[in-house]
Amino acid sequence: MSRRLIGKHVLITGSSEGLGRQLALDFAREGAAAIAIVARNGEKLESAREAISQIAPDAQVLTITADVSEESDIERIVATTLDAFQGNLDVLINNASKLGPSPMPLLVDYPLGDFVSVFKTNVVAPFLLIQKLLPALINNQGRIINVTSDAGITGHPGWGAYGISKFALEGLSRTWSAELAESGVKVNWVDPGDMNTAMHRSAEPDEDPSQWADPSAVTDIFIHLASDESNENGKRFLAQEDESHEYQLQL
């Protein structure tokens, strides 16, 4: 590890398992001073906190048990994080995501309640977190990284609300990056590719998960974008493309 994130204050949603947990671990290895981890499962969050503390005993680790689809929980996440970090925030990673019903139905059969619920987690939550944390991010010329998917650029049959929500997240990311271009805040979005995570196994239960990447293999681009070495803004990155940081896919 090259310690690219020394002193950084970071908030990662969906960080009790999978990619979010791995990001928290690797950000700690890279020297982040404070990491707020957010998820609905308090026990898994505590397990993640213990793992982070073993890697970086001096790092401040804040656990927030919350559901990002609830506006009141968003308010609590923001208030708790800024209070604990004394108003500082350098990096926001919107990683929390909801798949929806599994197996995923075609749109003609998709229940409205599930469709709305997916959008609350995958689109509305990132919008609100960015909006409410923006003053702190502007003060620190921070970094915002949204986690997308190839389902956000190609309409895969059967990926329903999840895929459509990722299209929306990419549009949200593009608009935020344009509106914040003069602020010093950098907004980018990363497609981590196929990973061996609980959500992916649920999405494609008939596939062999051993063919998918471990989350630890895709975190380097996130570290780069969160660090001071990065000046990219308004770009889409493929985490598994190569190791040269030439990941951007211009659309």
Residues carrying an active site annotation:
162
Rg, the chain, Cα only: 17
In order, the DSSP letters of the chain are ---TTTT-EEEEES-SSHHHHHHHHHHHHTT-SEEEEEES-HHHHHHHHHHHHHH-TTSEEEEEE--TTSHHHHHHHHHHHHHHTTT---EEEE------SSSPPPGGG--HHHHHHHHIIIIIHHHHHHHHHHHHHHHTT-EEEEE--GGGTS--TT-HHHHHHHHHHHHHHHHHHHHTTTTT-EEEEEE--SB--HHHHHH-TTS-GGGSBPGGGS-HHHHHHHSTT----S-EEETTS-SSS--B---
Query: Rounded to an integer, what distance in angstroms lies between the CA atom of residue 104 and that of residue 232?
Result: 35
Is there a contact between 140 and 183 (Cβ–Cβ < 8 Å)?
A: no
Is there a contact between 98 and 121 (Cβ–Cβ < 8 Å)?
A: yes
Neighbours of 223 (CB within 10 A): 21
